């Protein structure tokens, strides 16, 4: 029977294996099947009469899906701009103070004091972020930190007493943890329990760790270039401008900002430090930070002993490059996001880091930076997976309303470990000499692995 408007036979719907029911027309012995498809998700390249789909490479597909949500690229780039100064402030302050006052001891003490105050102030700032929102807290906190940096420059420039340098640099401790706030945004955007959301959270944490590594690679290089090519205060001033600009741009991205958890007088969320499993995890971060602190000091001393002190930064950057590249590859893997799976993975990652950190110790015996450089590159491969897994576990253990505070506590533990590792590495480099200072990083990593293993052994008992 012909169709009332086209004169064609009335369509008969049949079920296709590869799609929904499609109208089937019989016309003069030929069969015409009309199949309605949606627009292709991947780019299409037309060659002649054939349309060839070009899907993204397999390892980049998770990152392409991650940035498909509106506003994600904007807040990610803004957070990178705001985080870049964290690799600049320490180096800039040391160059600026030592260059004008002629004392590396004073410069180191000022920077160490700033880290100590940050360890106290940063969790409080993060608690305010969780309570009042990212935009309302991050902007005034960044403004206060930028004012502290400007005060430090003025004190150095005009010959203020030494105590004024300590006070001014301590004011920079209000710097908001933009990395934690970015991770909180990813966790909110992909807060569902589905495997797709779990994979997206894993990819996002890996991406954020790679961005952290990028800041630690570019920050010191940019700070040294500005301080030596322009004037000693240039690195600190540029860091303050980047911090304030990046934070303002980040806070302006309101549609991706996670909402503030509602609280009333009858409901109280568990403090992160009281969350089961978090204190031993912070001990793992503390020991991991000791790996980083010792590695930095020992490498500087080793390069200086070989007569190439200026090459220490480039050699250390290779460790960060290896870590960042491993983090991007790690983020493309489909891994479980359950707490018990994360605990077991953390043990494997920290154990791998302990094994790979023995490579610089072996390479140091050659007495050549050319041999040490590739060893540090390979040694950094396990760093990012360890940090990604640890941060993912923090997100699992901490109440959602205290996420920024929990991740900032992890960063604070890491900073404390860096300070302790720097002291231990400096002692080993001075008293043991040669490559033996490189025995400190694998020892600290082994302590982190033992602590992670203890958390796995204790977890079933807590669940019972």
Longest dimension (CA), the chain: 100
pLDDT at 241: 92
pLDDT at 248: 92
pLDDT at 31: 40
pLDDT at 1: 47
CA angle in degrees (0–180, nearest 5) for 460-462-463: 65
Q: Within a 10 A sphere around the Cβ of 246, how many other Cβ atoms? A: 21
pLDDT at 462: 43
pLDDT at 55: 54
Whether 183 and 391 have beta carbons less than 8 Å apart is answered as yes
pLDDT at 44: 47
CA 201 to chain CA centroid, Å, is: 13
Any idea which residue has 């990046």 for tokens? 246
Tokens of 344: 């077991």
44-47 and 30-33: which strand pairing? unpaired
Sketch out the chain's domains with CATH numbers: 1-37 (no CATH), 75-259 (1.20.1250.20), 271-464 (1.20.1250.20)
Q: What is the pLDDT along the chain (464 residues), one digit of tens a residue?
A: 444 444 444 444 444 444 444 444 443 444 444 444 444 444 545 444 554 555 555 656 777 777 877 888 888 899 889 888 887 887 788 778 877 877 767 777 787 778 778 878 888 888 888 788 888 888 999 999 999 889 998 988 888 888 888 888 888 888 888 888 888 888 888 877 777 777 777 778 777 877 877 787 777 778 777 877 788 888 889 989 999 999 999 988 888 888 776 655 544 556 666 666 778 888 888 898 888 888 877 887 788 778 777 677 778 778 888 887 887 787 777 766 677 788 888 888 889 999 999 998 888 888 888 888 888 889 888 888 888 888 888 877 877 677 777 778 888 888 888 878 877 887 887 778 768 888 889 999 999 988 888 777 666 444 43
Determine phi and psi for 45, rounding to 5 degrees: -110, 120
Q: For 53, which DSSP code? A: E
Whether 294 and 302 have beta carbons less than 8 Å apart is answered as no
22-27 and 30-33: which strand pairing? antiparallel
CA 233 to chain CA centroid, Å, is: 28
End-to-end CA distance of the chain: 71
> Quick one: which of 413, 138, 459, 390 has its CA closest to 273?
413
Residues ≥6 apart with Cβ < 8 Å to 103: 97
pLDDT at 129: 84
Between CA 283 and CA 410 the distance in angstroms is 9
């Amino acid at each position: 029977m012909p169709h009332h408007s086209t004169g064609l036979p009335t369509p008969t719907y049949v079920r296709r294996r590869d799609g929904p029911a499609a109208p089937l027309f019989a016309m003069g012995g030929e069969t015409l099947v009309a199949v309605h498809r949606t627009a292709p998700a991947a780019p299409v390249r037309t060659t002649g009469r054939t349309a060839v789909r070009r899907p993204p490479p397999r390892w980049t597909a998770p990152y392409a899906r991650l940035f498909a949500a509106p506003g994600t690229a904007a807040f990610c780039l803004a957070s990178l701009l705001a985080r870049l100064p964290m690799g600049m402030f320490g180096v800039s302050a040391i160059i600026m103070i030592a260059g004008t006052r002629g004392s590396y001891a004073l410069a180191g003490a000022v920077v160490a004091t700033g880290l100590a105050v940050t360890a106290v102030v940063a969790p409080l700032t993060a608690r305010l972020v969780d309570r009042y929102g990212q935009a309302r807290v991050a902007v005034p906190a960044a403004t206060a930190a930028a004012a502290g940096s400007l005060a430090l420059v003025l004190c150095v420039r005009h010959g203020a007493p030494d105590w004024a340098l300590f006070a001014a640099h301590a004011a920079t401790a209000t710097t908001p943890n933009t990395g934690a706030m970015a991770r909180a945004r990813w966790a909110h955007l992909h807060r569902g329990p589905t495997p797709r959301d779990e994979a997206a959270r894993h990819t996002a944490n890996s991406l954020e760790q790679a961005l952290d590594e990028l800041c630690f690679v570019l920050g010191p290089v940019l700070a040294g270039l500005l301080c030596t090519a322009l004037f000693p205060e240039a690195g600190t001033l540029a860091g303050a401008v980047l911090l304030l600009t990046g934070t303002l741009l980040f806070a302006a991205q309101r549609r991706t900002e996670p909402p503030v958890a509602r609280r009333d007088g009858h409901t109280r969320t568990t403090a992160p430090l009281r969350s089961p499993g978090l204190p031993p995890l912070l001990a793992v971060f503390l020991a991991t930070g000791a790996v980083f602190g010792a590695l930095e000091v020992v490498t500087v001393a080793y390069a200086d002993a070989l007569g190439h002190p200026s090459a220490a930064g480039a050699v250390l950057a290779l460790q960060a490059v290896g870590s960042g590249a491993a983090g991007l590859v790690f983020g493309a893997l489909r891994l479980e996001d359950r707490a018990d799976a994360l605990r077991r993975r953390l043990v494997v990652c920290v154990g791998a880091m302990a094994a790979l950190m023995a490579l610089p110790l072996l390479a140091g015996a050659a007495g050549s930076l050319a041999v040490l450089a590739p060893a540090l590159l390979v040694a950094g491969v396990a760093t990012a997976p360890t940090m990604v897994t640890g941060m993912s576990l923090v997100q699992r253990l901490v109440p959602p309303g205290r996420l920024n505070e929990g991740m900032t506590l992890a960063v604070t533990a890491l900073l404390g470990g860096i300070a302790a590792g720097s002291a231990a590495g400096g002692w080993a480099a001075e008293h043991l000499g040669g490559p033996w200072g490189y025995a400190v990083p694998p020892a600290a990593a082994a302590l982190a692995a033992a602590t992670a293993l203890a958390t796995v052994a204790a977890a079933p008992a807590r669940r019972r």
